[in-house]
Amino acid sequence: PYDVLVVGGGPAGASAAIYAARKGLRTGVVAERFGGQVADTLAIENFISVKATEGPKLVAQLEEHVKDYDVDVIDNQRASRLYSDNGNHIELENGATLTAKAVILATGARWREMNVPGEREYRGRGVAYCPHCDGPLFKGKPVAVIGGGNSGIEAAIDLANIVEQVTVLEFADTLRADEVLVRKAQSMANITIIKSAQTTEVLGDGNKVTALAYTDRNTGEQHQLSIAGVFVQIGLVPNTEWLKESGVTLSKFGEIEVDNRGATNVEGVYAAGDATNSAFKQIIIAMGSGATASLGAFDYLIRHGQE
Ligand code: FAD
């Protein structure tokens, strides 16, 4: 059995694995796809101390750093169940079971997609999901934000300081965002909010996004907006469906609840990164929380890990 088994090979998992290995713990990482969301990212400009990099390059560096230690990396394997008795057990979809004294859950999250034509095609070429990450790429240009919840309205306020014009499209006839955010957005001259708008297509010139098509749900009329970018803000879904029966407490959003040492409610089970109730979801934050969870697990093992 492992001392520490990390589930997930994104920035949180990689960081947790390195911290565990550096404590001399027998460490494994099991990941469906090493690199996680970073593998899908083009430009990264907010990974502090690295002025600019690209997702695949950072993933290669993460992998090189992890493999510099004595860590078992089990890639292309998906965990399907966690159960705990004398130790914690991770069942894989291929039928195998891995056992560890401590487990660190770092299965990340995925952005909810609109599922309209053009969205996938122009991902990273105008279709964006993270205003903190990609906002500055649209400096001085018009953009749309899809979604009028808190994250959509926050994104609009954030982007309005950088871009030329922000149009928010909300499917429903009301905004779900907090009143204070809505008031702030309405007070900004370069934000327009359109309700009852169903986005139907992302249009581009084959290279990058040029427009967005939507239907006015009240009149059925079709419209097009000329934009350079579209920020999809209709939810970030944690990859925690497989934990529903595990006994690990999840928030109403499905996020794993952790304390300030990365511990969950289940003994010996820790968690880090976008899969948790961390307030913000960023690479540098995921790495920090991976380190926290690993040190938390180490602390647990020196107290309870004796056989
Ligand atoms: P993830 O990166 O999501 O990794 C999760 C890992 O778990 C993956 O290895 C996955 O395969 C694995 N996994 C999931 N389910 C299972 C399972 N059941 N069994 C086994 N393995 C599983 N942040 C920034 O700081 N700067 C940016 O510029 C930036 N740009 C972004 C651009 C895009 C397009 C996206 C999508 C995100 C961006 N982010 C950016 C956010 C950043 O990528 C995430 O905050 C970060 O990757 C979270 O790390 P994580 O390790 O928690 O999860």
pLDDT digits (tens, 9 = 90+) for 235-284: 999 999 999 999 999 999 999 999 999 999 999 999 999 999 999 999 99
Nearest CA owner, ligand 1 atom 16: 107
Q: Is the pLDDT of residue 123 over 70?
A: yes
C-alpha separations of 20 from 4, 61, 185, 231, 291 in Å: 7, 18, 45, 37, 8
Atom of ligand 1 nearest to the CA of 273: 52
**For range 154-172, the mean pLDDT:** 97
Question: What's the chain's average pLDDT?
Answer: 96
Query: Taking a C-beta distance cutoff of 8 angstroms, is the pair 111, 15 a contact?
Result: no
**What is the identity of the amino acid at 268?**
G
Residues 84, 3, 11, 95, CA torsion sign:
negative
| Least confident among 34-43, 103-112, 120-129, 251-260 | 34-43
Atom of ligand 1 nearest to the CA of 274: 52
Cα first-last separation, the chain: 12
- CB atoms inside a 10 Å sphere around CB 164: 15
Contacts of 129 (CB under 8 A, 6+ apart): 111, 231, 232, 233
CA of 171 from ligand 1 middle (Å) equals: 27
pLDDT of residue 43: 84
Q: Which two tokens stand for residue 160?
A: 């309005």
Query: H helices of the chain, where?
Result: 11-21, 55-67, 131-134, 150-160, 179-186, 283-304
